[in-house]
Amino acid sequence: MKLVRVTRGKKEINAGKHDMYDIYDTIRKPMPRPGGAFKDKNTEYNEDLDSPSIADLEREALVSCELRGHEMGDWDRSRRGSANISTCECVKCQKYVQVIDLPQPNEIDIGGTAVALHCSN
Protein backbone atom coordinates (compact mmCIF):
# COMPACT_ATOMS: atom_id res chain seq x y z
CA MET A 1 0.00 0.00 0.00
CA LYS A 2 1.34 3.38 -0.86
CA LEU A 3 1.29 6.22 1.62
CA VAL A 4 -0.63 9.29 0.57
CA ARG A 5 -0.30 12.83 1.83
CA VAL A 6 -3.38 14.92 1.22
CA THR A 7 -3.60 18.59 2.04
CA ARG A 8 -7.00 20.04 2.77
CA GLY A 9 -6.67 23.67 3.71
CA LYS A 10 -4.12 23.88 6.53
CA LYS A 11 -4.66 20.31 7.72
CA GLU A 12 -2.59 17.41 6.37
CA ILE A 13 -3.82 13.84 6.41
CA ASN A 14 -1.38 10.93 6.26
CA ALA A 15 -2.51 7.45 5.33
CA GLY A 16 -0.38 5.22 7.55
CA LYS A 17 0.57 1.58 7.42
CA HIS A 18 -2.38 0.63 9.64
CA ASP A 19 -4.96 1.85 7.13
CA MET A 20 -6.62 -1.15 5.50
CA TYR A 21 -7.54 0.55 2.22
CA ASP A 22 -6.13 3.62 0.55
CA ILE A 23 -9.31 5.59 -0.15
CA TYR A 24 -7.44 8.01 -2.39
CA ASP A 25 -6.23 5.26 -4.75
CA THR A 26 -9.46 4.60 -6.62
CA ILE A 27 -10.67 4.49 -10.19
CA ARG A 28 -13.21 7.22 -9.58
CA LYS A 29 -12.45 10.73 -10.74
CA PRO A 30 -12.47 13.54 -8.17
CA MET A 31 -15.54 15.74 -8.18
CA PRO A 32 -15.08 19.26 -9.57
CA ARG A 33 -15.43 22.27 -7.30
CA PRO A 34 -18.90 23.82 -7.14
CA GLY A 35 -19.51 25.51 -10.48
CA GLY A 36 -16.37 23.92 -11.91
CA ALA A 37 -18.26 21.48 -14.09
CA PHE A 38 -19.43 24.34 -16.29
CA LYS A 39 -15.88 25.67 -16.77
CA ASP A 40 -14.58 22.39 -18.20
CA LYS A 41 -12.65 22.92 -21.41
CA ASN A 42 -13.36 19.37 -22.62
CA THR A 43 -17.08 19.56 -23.37
CA GLU A 44 -17.16 16.38 -25.42
CA TYR A 45 -18.15 13.21 -23.54
CA ASN A 46 -16.15 10.11 -24.41
CA GLU A 47 -17.87 7.06 -22.95
CA ASP A 48 -14.80 4.84 -23.33
CA LEU A 49 -12.50 7.21 -21.42
CA ASP A 50 -14.95 8.61 -18.87
CA SER A 51 -16.45 5.37 -17.53
CA PRO A 52 -14.44 2.60 -15.81
CA SER A 53 -14.43 -0.87 -17.34
CA ILE A 54 -16.40 -3.75 -15.87
CA ALA A 55 -13.11 -5.44 -14.84
CA ASP A 56 -12.00 -2.33 -12.91
CA LEU A 57 -15.34 -2.15 -11.13
CA GLU A 58 -15.21 -5.88 -10.28
CA ARG A 59 -11.73 -5.46 -8.73
CA GLU A 60 -12.87 -2.50 -6.65
CA ALA A 61 -15.99 -4.40 -5.50
CA LEU A 62 -13.91 -7.45 -4.49
CA VAL A 63 -11.56 -5.30 -2.41
CA SER A 64 -14.52 -3.79 -0.58
CA CYS A 65 -16.14 -7.21 0.01
CA GLU A 66 -12.93 -8.82 1.23
CA LEU A 67 -12.39 -5.99 3.71
CA ARG A 68 -15.77 -6.94 5.20
CA GLY A 69 -14.69 -10.58 5.60
CA HIS A 70 -16.54 -12.08 2.63
CA GLU A 71 -15.24 -14.99 0.55
CA MET A 72 -16.64 -14.21 -2.86
CA GLY A 73 -17.41 -16.82 -5.53
CA ASP A 74 -17.28 -16.49 -9.31
CA TRP A 75 -18.78 -13.60 -11.25
CA ASP A 76 -22.03 -14.15 -13.17
CA ARG A 77 -22.01 -11.81 -16.17
CA SER A 78 -24.97 -10.63 -18.25
CA ARG A 79 -25.95 -7.71 -20.49
CA ARG A 80 -28.82 -5.22 -20.43
CA GLY A 81 -28.81 -3.17 -23.59
CA SER A 82 -25.34 -1.68 -23.84
CA ALA A 83 -24.57 -2.15 -20.12
CA ASN A 84 -22.57 -5.06 -18.71
CA ILE A 85 -23.81 -6.40 -15.37
CA SER A 86 -21.83 -8.70 -13.05
CA THR A 87 -23.06 -10.27 -9.83
CA CYS A 88 -21.17 -12.28 -7.27
CA GLU A 89 -22.15 -13.98 -3.98
CA CYS A 90 -20.30 -14.74 -0.78
CA VAL A 91 -19.92 -18.51 -0.43
CA LYS A 92 -20.35 -18.29 3.36
CA CYS A 93 -23.33 -15.97 3.91
CA GLN A 94 -24.86 -15.55 0.41
CA LYS A 95 -24.67 -11.74 0.49
CA TYR A 96 -24.19 -10.36 -3.02
CA VAL A 97 -22.49 -7.55 -4.90
CA GLN A 98 -23.65 -6.18 -8.25
CA VAL A 99 -21.56 -4.16 -10.69
CA ILE A 100 -22.91 -2.18 -13.67
CA ASP A 101 -20.48 -0.44 -16.01
CA LEU A 102 -23.07 1.97 -17.50
CA PRO A 103 -25.66 2.53 -14.75
CA GLN A 104 -28.92 4.34 -15.41
CA PRO A 105 -29.39 7.73 -13.66
CA ASN A 106 -31.27 6.05 -10.78
CA GLU A 107 -28.74 3.17 -10.39
CA ILE A 108 -25.30 2.83 -8.84
CA ASP A 109 -22.23 1.21 -10.39
CA ILE A 110 -21.22 -0.91 -7.35
CA GLY A 111 -23.85 -1.99 -4.85
CA GLY A 112 -25.24 -4.86 -2.83
CA THR A 113 -25.34 -6.28 0.67
CA ALA A 114 -21.78 -7.68 0.54
CA VAL A 115 -20.40 -4.18 -0.02
CA ALA A 116 -22.46 -2.69 2.80
CA LEU A 117 -22.45 -5.38 5.53
CA HIS A 118 -19.88 -7.64 7.18
CA CYS A 119 -19.95 -11.39 6.63
CA SER A 120 -22.29 -13.08 9.09
CA ASN A 121 -20.29 -16.35 9.20
Domain boundaries, the chain: 52-116
Q: What pLDDT, on a 0 to 100 scale, did the predictor assign at position 65?
A: 94
pTM: 0.61
What percent of the chain stands above pLDDT 70? 59
pLDDT digits (tens, 9 = 90+) for 107-119: 999 999 999 999 9
d(CA 1, CA 93): 29
pLDDT higher at 78 or 50: 78
Q: b/e map of 32-64 (b: 16 or more CB within 10 Å)? A: eeeeeeeeeeeeeeeeeeebbebeebbebbbeb
* pLDDT at 1 > cutoff 50: no
Q: What is the pLDDT averaged over residues 13-35?
A: 52
Q: What pLDDT, on a 0 to 100 scale, did the predictor assign at position 52?
A: 82
69 in Cβ contact with 95 (< 8 Å): no
Q: What pLDDT, on a 0 to 100 scale, did the predictor assign at position 35?
A: 53
